[in-house]
Amino acid sequence: MFSETILLSLREIRRNLMRSSLTILGIVIGVAAVITMVTLGRGATAQVASDITKLGTNLLQVRPGQDRHGPGGTHSTGDMFKAKDAEAIAQEIFGLSAVAPIASQTIQSIYGNENWSTTVTGSTNAYLQVSNWLIESGRQFMESELRAGKAVCILGTTVRDKLFGGQNPIGATIRLGKLSCNVIGVLNSKGQSSFGTDQDDFVLIPLRMLQRRIAGNSDVSRILVSAQDGVSTKKVEQDIQQLMRQRRHILPGKDDDFHVRDMQELVSTMTGTTRVLTGLLGAVAAVSLLVGGIGIMNIMLVSVTERTREIGIRLAIGALERDVLMQFLVEAVVLSSFGGVIGIVLGISAAAVGAIVLAVPFIFDPGIIVIAFVFSAAVGVVFGYFPARQAGQMDPIEALRYE
C-alpha cells in the first residue's frame, strides 16, 4: 500500500513536471546554500588550523613586555632578553624539545643587480625545529658558525626567487646591508599564512652575527619554545614564567614584565572564529529552506483544490481520511526530498568549485548530506501536513460536486 502511494505521488509529480520543478526550486536553493556554506566554512576552518600548525606545534612564545591583549592600560616594555635566558630555559625546564632565541631586523638584501628588502632573523638551528622549517637544499648552520657568528645565511624561497630567479644560490655570496654573507641553504616553502603574510620572505643567519654585526647589541627580542609531545604546554608556560620572574628579579606581587603565549590557544581562538562564522552563514542559508517549505505548502494547497474531484472519488469508493492524507503528505515529502537531493548535488558541486577559487581544502562530509536530506524531507512533512489534512477532511459529496 505504501509503495503504491509513493508510485502514485511520483506519477502525479511527473504529470505536473514544470510546476513540480518550480515548487522544489526553493528547497533546492536552500539545501545547496546550506551545503555550500558549511562545506566551505569547514574547509576554511581546517585551513586556518593547518596554517597555525605550520607555525609550529606545541609552541610557546616568550616576549618581553606585558601581554598586549590583556586588559588594563599599563603597557610596559620590559628589558630585552639575552641569549643566556634562552639557554637557561633549555637547561632548567623539563619537557622541551627546542628553544630558539630570536632577534630580527629589516634589511636590504642584494645579489648582483637584484635587491630585495626582507626580514633578517638571527637565531640557531633550533629555530628550524620549533617553526617546522625543512632545509630544501644545502645545510643547516654548523655549531662553530653559530658560536663565531659567521657570515652565513639560509634563504627563504621568496628571497631566493627575488635575488636568484631560477639559479642555484648555494655557495653564492649575497649582501645584507653592508655585510657579505655566504648562502649555505634554502628552506622549503610554506606559502602565505592565514594572516596574509608571506612566511617565506626572510633570511636566517646565526644569532650572534645579527647581534654583533647588524644590531650592535646582545638583545634577544623573543624566545620560541617547543614542548615535547605529550607535555602540557600549560605546565611549561608556568615553569617559564616562574624561571623568568626569578631571572629578571621581579618581586612577589609585581606584574610580569614579559609574557608567555601558547600557540595552541591561538589555534582554538582562530578556528573558533571561523566556526562561528560558518554557523551564522549556515543559519542564514537555512532560512531559505524555510521559505522553500512555504512554497511547497502553497503549491500543495493549489494541488488539493485542483484535485478536489479526485479526492471526492477516492473518498466515495472507500478511501479513509488517512489514506488521502498520506497520499498528499507523501507527495509533499517526495517533492521536497527530490529538492533535497538536487540541492545536495548542486551544493557539493558549488562547494568544490568554491574551494578551488578560495584556495581552501574541500572537505566532503557525509554527515551534512544526511542532515540536509533528512531536513528537506522533514520540511515536506511539516509543510505538506496542512494541505494533506485539508484533502483528507473533505466531504465526499461536496468534493464530487466540485467543478
Partner 1 sequence: MKTTTSTQTGKHYLIELKGVTKVYGEGPAAMHALQGIDLRIGQGEFVAVMGPSGSGKSTCMNILGCLDTPSSGVHLFEGIDVGKLSRDERALLRRHYLGFVFQGFNLLNRTSALENVELPLIYRGTPAEDRRVRALEALEAVGLTGWETHTPGELSGGQQQRVAIARAIVTNPKVLLADEPTGNLDSARSREIMKVLAAFNSERGITIAMVTHDADIAVYAKRIIRFFDGSIDSEEKKPGTA
State the residues that interact with partner 1 by CB under 8 A: 1, 4, 15, 309-310, 312-323, 396-397, 400
For residues 303 and 294, what is the distance between their CA atoms, to the nearest angstrom? 14
If the CB atoms of residues 302 and 320 are measured against partner 1, the closer one turns out to be 320
If the CB atoms of residues 16 and 105 are measured against partner 1, the closer one turns out to be 16
Annotate 4-61 with three-state secondary structure: HHHHHHHHHHHHCHHHHHHHHHHHHHHHHHHHHHHHHHHHHHHHHHHHHHHCCCCEEE
- Name 45's Cβ contacts closer than 8 Å, sequence gap at least 6: 271, 274, 275, 278
Could you tell me which residues are beta bridge partners of residue 114?
Answer: 111
Element (H, E) at 213: none
CB-CB contact of 56 with 226 (8 Å)? yes
Least separation in angstroms between residue 11's CB and partner 1 is 8
CB-CB contact of 241 with 179 (8 Å)? no
If the CB atoms of residues 316 and 358 are measured against partner 1, the closer one turns out to be 316
Least separation in angstroms between residue 319's CB and partner 1 is 5
In terms of C-beta density within 10 A (0-12 exposed, 13-18 middle, 19 or more buried), how is residue 359 classed? exposed
Least separation in angstroms between residue 271's CB and partner 1 is 56
Least separation in angstroms between residue 1's CB and partner 1 is 6
If the CB atoms of residues 15 and 68 are measured against partner 1, the closer one turns out to be 15
Least separation in angstroms between residue 401's CB and partner 1 is 9
For residues 121 and 220, what is the distance between their CA atoms, to the nearest angstrom? 11
Element (H, E) at 261: strand 258-262
If the CB atoms of residues 1 and 134 are measured against partner 1, the closer one turns out to be 1
Least separation in angstroms between residue 334's CB and partner 1 is 18
Would you give the distance in Å from CA 374 to the centre of its chain?
Answer: 27
If the CB atoms of residues 134 and 317 are measured against partner 1, the closer one turns out to be 317
For residues 103 and 121, what is the distance between their CA atoms, to the nearest angstrom? 6
Least separation in angstroms between residue 301's CB and partner 1 is 20
Least separation in angstroms between residue 30's CB and partner 1 is 31
If the CB atoms of residues 295 and 312 are measured against partner 1, the closer one turns out to be 312
Least separation in angstroms between residue 275's CB and partner 1 is 51
CB-CB contact of 206 with 122 (8 Å)? yes
Instruction: Give SS3 for 222.
Output: strand
If the CB atoms of residues 211 and 303 are measured against partner 1, the closer one turns out to be 303
If the CB atoms of residues 143 and 321 are measured against partner 1, the closer one turns out to be 321
For residues 317 and 326, what is the distance between their CA atoms, to the nearest angstrom? 17
CA angle 267/272/276 to nearest 5° reads 155
What share of residues in the chain are helix, strand, coil (percent, to 5)? 55, 20, 25
- Torsions phi, psi for 286 (to 5 deg): -65, -30
If the CB atoms of residues 263 and 334 are measured against partner 1, the closer one turns out to be 334
Least separation in angstroms between residue 323's CB and partner 1 is 6
